Structure 1
Amino acid sequence: MSTPLPIEGEKVSLRPFVADELNVLWARRVATAASWMIGPNSYERLKSRVQNSGRFTDGWLFLAIDAGEELVGEVEARHIDRSMPPGVFELGIEMYEESDRGRGFGSETIALFTSYLFEDYRAERVCGSTSIENASMRRVFETCGYALEGIMRAFMPSTKGRDDYALYAITKREWAELPH
């Protein structure tokens, strides 16, 4: 069964990006990304992701998060055939403005997107990670039923050197047992 896009929740809608949003996304990345994230082909990769948004292409599924009529963030799933077992997906989320955090947008996005991966992409396991210092994102994972699996030490480059990251995951069976 294929869920049509957009995916509608009470607070957010998940939809493909449109070409007109490319420059806004690029400006956001340049302003907020660590220098190691912006390389010589970064703009072209982002352009390709926007063009293919809404379809799982080259190991990526990339969607916009709207609240009302406003673009408030992005969510992505990754499944790289050469590096992940079948049925395993990793997700990432970014809420653009601090004022949009703590309003339930992240929790609803993770719940909607997790359901989408289990139902439409035959996921058996969905995982995500965040800085151990990001208490609000850790709460989002826990609220959505994800279990803490461990700490990945010195995982992500940062302005302070390298940050430890908490790894969370949920299985299809565990997801099915949760009240939705």
Structure 2
Amino acid sequence: MEDCYTQHSWIGGDLKFSYCTEHDLPDISRMLSKESVCRWLFFGPNTEEATRAYFLPLIEEMRTALREGRTPDHHVFTVRLEGTGDFVGQCALFPVDFSPGSFLIGYQLDDVYWKKGYGTQTCCFLVYFAFTVLDGYRLNGDTVAGNTASRRVMERCGFVLEGTQRRYWHAADGYHDRMIFGLLKSDLAPERLSALEKAFTG
């Protein structure tokens, strides 16, 4: 297990993943104000105030934990192009209550970076971080049934469809089924885990 308490950013391919800070909020707010980005989400488009109200407590918790040399309870990352620093999106791992080592994944990319493979790269980073850095045992993902892009991202990273909850979410255009995905660390061959370790560096 790597020392994640002193390391705040990781590079994979042409993307840089860094613990989110308050300086990232203008970019995140702009992204989450877009109807295109929020089409399949049960929240949004968001106001800047709503985005800040949600992210600031998470940022403060992470900042305090990292300053004190502790692993944060939540892991929220900003995704940027490694070469230019341009904002690509954000992703996160949230702990599952009463199941240490199990996490819920989440990711949103700005629409100008869709269909470039960055969604899969971002999901792979979460798999790497959860299983290699945090030594977790299970990842949980979900998506609206109509969001085929998100489904394909998880499937490319090894997630398995485990069930469907009918009419679970209400989005702008009505009710939608929730598709539930899961990935166990034991699902991945040792060489796959080794390849993930090599793909993401400090």
TM-score of the two chains, using structure 1 as the length reference: 0.82
Instruction: Quote the Cα distance in structure 1 between the aligned partners of 2:22 and 2:173.
Output: 35
Instruction: Quote the Cα distance in structure 2 between the aligned partners of 1:173 and 1:128.
Output: 17
Instruction: Quote the Cα distance in structure 2 between the aligned partners of 1:171 and 1:131.
Output: 21
- Which whole-Å deviations, capped at 9, do the CAs of 1:140-174 have from their partners, x for residues lacking one? 11111111111122222201232112111110111
TM-score of the two chains, using structure 2 as the length reference: 0.74
C-alpha distance 12-116 of structure 1, shift in aligned 2 (>3 A): same
- CA shift at 1:31, angstroms? 4.6
The answer for the alignment partner of 1:48 in structure 2 is 57
C-alpha distance 41-22 of structure 1, shift in aligned 2 (>3 A): closer
Is 1:110 the counterpart of 2:111? The answer is no
Instruction: Quote the Cα distance in structure 2 between the aligned partners of 1:142 and 1:27.
Output: 28
Instruction: Quote the Cα distance in structure 1 between the aligned partners of 2:146 and 2:31.
Output: 22
The answer for the alignment partner of 1:128 in structure 2 is 141
Is 1:85 the counterpart of 2:85? The answer is no
- CA shift at 1:11, angstroms? 2.8
| % identity of equivalent residues | 18
Superposed, 1:29-178 pairs within 5 Å as: 29-32=32-35, 43-53=52-62, 57=72, 59-68=73-82, 69-81=85-97, 84-97=98-111, 99-177=112-190
- CA shift at 1:87, angstroms? 1.8
- Which whole-Å deviations, capped at 9, do the CAs of 1:89-117 have from their partners, x for residues lacking one? 110100012x3111111111111111111
Structure 2 gaps of 5+ residues are: 196-202
C-alpha distance 51-108 of structure 1, shift in aligned 2 (>3 A): same
| Number of aligned positions between the proteins | 176
Is contact 2:28–2:90 with CA below 8 Å preserved after alignment?
A: no
- CA shift at 1:175, angstroms? 2.3
What is the DSSP-based 3-state SS (H/G/I as helix, E as strand, rest coil) of the residue aligned with 1:2?
Answer: coil
- CA shift at 1:25, angstroms? 2.6
C-alpha distance 165-177 of structure 1, shift in aligned 2 (>3 A): farther
Structure 1 gaps of 5+ residues are: none
- CA shift at 1:45, angstroms? 3.0
Instruction: Quote the Cα distance in structure 2 between the aligned partners of 1:21 and 1:112.
Output: 19
Is contact 2:24–2:78 with CA below 8 Å preserved after alignment?
A: no
Give the superposed CA RMSD: 2.7
Instruction: Quote the Cα distance in structure 1 between the aligned partners of 2:170 and 2:119.
Output: 23
